[in-house]
Amino acid sequence: MADSALDDSHDDDFYNDDTDDDLHLHKGNNSQEDDEDHDDGDDGVALEEDATDDFRMIRKNCTVLTEADIRQRVTDTVAEVSSVLSLSKTEAGILLLHFNWSVSNVFDAWFADEKLAHEKAGLFVKPLVESPDHGGNMLCEICFEYYTCDGMKSTRCGHPYCNDCWSSYIKKAIGDGPQSLLLKCPHPSCRAAVGEDMVGLFASEQEKNKYSGYFVMSYIESNKMTKWCPGPGCENAVDFVAGSESFDVSCLCSHSFCWNCTQEAHRPVDCETMSKWMLKNSSESENVNYILAFTKPCPQCKRPIEKNMGCSHMTCRAPCYFEFCWLCLKGWKGHDLCNRFREKPEEEKREKAKKYMMKYAHYFERWATNRKSMKKAADDLQNVQLKEIEIVRHVQEISAAEISFITEAWQQIIECRRVLAWTYAYGFYLLDECQAKRNLFEYLQGQAESGLERLHDCAEKELLPFLKLKRSTMEFIEFRKKLALLTGVTRNYFDNLVTALQNGLSDVNPGGSSSVPKKPKLIGSSSVRKKCKLIGSSSVRKRRKLIWTLALTPAVIGAPDFSSNISDNSATGTAMEPWACAYCSFENEGSSTFCTMCERGSWTCDVCTFANSSASTTCAMCSATLEP
């Protein structure tokens, strides 16, 4: 009698395999903070240490799953179905594969009609073919050879085949790829599932590892909220937290990508804008625009000609050799003057194309430069982690916990460079008609970029002295304070920038004015000056305090003209005159102490330029205190 491979002897080895060295996950082609806490005392800054060194870490809007994490989830899911339905782990695995790893769908189908659920998954309760009771030889219907009962095997359907044919059949299926997980009985009309038990009997160790990898891979690719990290050589998966505001996720391999489109992270622009921008950069359309903007067609042969010398006398190349004037495109023979204006639609079209090309070049250059800086910062971070951290620890004689702020600063620089690059793509597609939004965008972008440059400069240059010579503890503490503060402030700048852009710069309406019918204006923009000073000695924490003098009216320092209708009037007004918010340009009543639109206020911090409520005495961005 042919043996039916229904035992669970291989289950524990398959679902609880801890030999990660022999397992390699193969990805298919179509697979899917706290700010540093600053001590207010005189003895320095308390920097928060890393919460854990474990690889299973949750990063804001996602959970990064290592190979061990994925295997554990697979094991737990199979064990749950096996326990609840009183099935072997092999049968539970087959059911889960059939229902795309949905435990709820498995339970619903099972308890609605157990027999039907069995049959749909290919788990037959009774064999379809009864094996002969006599102990004689049996015919294998693949190779048509006779074998003893010990030389024949069958799956749950009862169709017997020889061991050699089973081995060849399973080996061929595993070699064809992940579809081997849905392998059926070799009989042409049979739908019985061939599970892990049969693979364990007839596959080699290498083939078992492949099958196991396909099994684990199917768990990730069947889960709508989980995707493989597309980073080169990375075998981690990312489990997205439903309801998160941002699709940008980061893996443990340091690769950041958009969970929605699996392309590189592109916050704050959406996937459609990113795709459009990348297509634009790689298309030949800009070459056409260049030709249109910076060349003119020969009046005779119509070939485009670029002016590369000073005079206007142009000669076309062979075989045309037509001579003409660059300015009026008339023949050079008999040409006199062409200084009289005559309206020419083609000239207007050429100037428009030239202006468009200059705009594109402006934004593309800055997008590309920041991406290059981001990649350089990533290389610098790797160098810091592999070399400089250990050098500083050795030279300055400090622990790893005391130096983690350097790594955090470089990670922030990389993220900010990425965001800043994509803000230039955002700016390119921002409509020119809405000047108020463009002004606000450029102001927020400029503030964020300035903060990033200060942070990048500090991390890049001010660490160098600590790599060479032993410096005093106070010098290192001051450096740590400065870099940690710049990291936090820069993070806040970019958080505000991203929030504003993702909200469509809603603080300014499309018309460029506030909802109040009167034209808003900046009051006293030059009537109040705020100065900074450092307090405390080098042994205490240096906090920037602002000495400010309040005039009779609130004033806006360093705020841009957010509206085409806002006049930069520097005349001092009365106490009850309206004032415009430094952040959103909304016109408020003179008696208001904070903006009724965005709940920010009328004074701008000289340390970080953040617009604060005039009712507060501490900057909400960098915690700089105010001194009346």
The catalytic residues are 311
SS3 368: helix
**Residue 192 CB: number of other CB atoms within 10 A?**
23
User: Which string of DSSP letters, residue by residue, matches 316-362?
Assistant: PPTTT--EEETTT--BSTT-----S----HHHHHHHHHHHHHHHHHH
Q: Check: CB of residue 543 under 8 Å from CB of residue 40.
A: no
| Furthest-apart CA atoms within the chain: distance in Å | 115
Question: What span, in angstroms and rounded, lies between the C-alpha atoms of 28 and 220?
Answer: 11
**Nearby residues of 264 by Cβ (< 8 Å), 6 or more positions away:** 256, 257, 258
| DSSP secondary structure string for all residues of 208-247 | HHHHHHHHHHHHHHH-TTEEE--STT---EEEE-TT-S--
Beta-ladder partners of 256? 250
Residue 397 gets the label, from left (phi > 0), alpha (psi -120 to 50) or beta, of: left
- Residue 74 belongs to what H/E stretch? helix 67-85
- How far is it, in rounded angstroms, from Cα 524 to Cα 320? 66
Phi/psi for 525 (5° steps) reads -65, -20
**Cβ–Cβ < 8 Å for 153, 194:** no
